[in-house]
Structure 1
């Protein structure tokens, strides 16, 4: 987004190829948790196109850095969910054999 002779790095639209609502909605959620984000949203330009556009506006920090941080946060959330699930499955398998239900 151009303003005069400088580029405003606090507002950007990112286009992600080969993605859909799954990633876009998850990123929108993590972005909205960040206090540096004033506005964020996403759109799918056309249903037949595997592409999402994510719009990020911040309080002043570069939008690309905030998006990177949100991607890291999302990866940590996914890792936590995966490890919690794996532990629950292991616990279920261990308790199933002991006859305690």
Structure 2
């Protein structure tokens, strides 16, 4: 059996700006990009968070994060993903509780 290993997220540190980096997320589009950007904006240590879809025919997004000196882009990214996971789990539980009553 052939198994393919595919890395969905790659990291590139910015060489010109301290505490800035880009995360390329494969096989995602505006849906995840916008949700992740908005979650990053909730973090007081994030100075800038944005994303772009490089080309309509390329199925990937590039998320740019610039943080304060007491944090790192990787920490902000990980925290945003964890917070979104918890938020979506709470939404799912609330939906299921109201649906199956």
TM range (shorter): 0.7 to 0.9
Output the TM-score relative to the length of structure 2: 0.82
Determine helix, strand or coil for the equivalent of 1:39: strand
The answer to which structure, 1 or 2, has the higher relative contact order (CA under 8 A, 6+ apart) is: 1
Root mean square deviation, CA, Å:
1.2
Determine helix, strand or coil for the equivalent of 2:100: helix
Determine helix, strand or coil for the equivalent of 1:70: helix
Separation in 1, partners of 2:15, 2:30:
28
Q: Which runs of 4+ in 1 moved over 4 A?
A: none
Pair member with larger Rg: 1
Residue 82 of structure 1: which of 73, 92, 101 is its match? 92
Residue 35 of structure 2: which of 26, 29, 34 is its match? 26
Separation in 1, partners of 2:56, 2:96:
35
Tell me how many residue pairs correspond in the alignment.
87
Provide structure 2 residue ranges, at least 5 long, that are not aligned to the other structure.
1-13
Alpha-carbon distance, 1:39 to partner: 0.5
Output the TM-score relative to the length of structure 1: 0.82
Provide structure 1 residue ranges, at least 5 long, that are not aligned to the other structure.
92-101
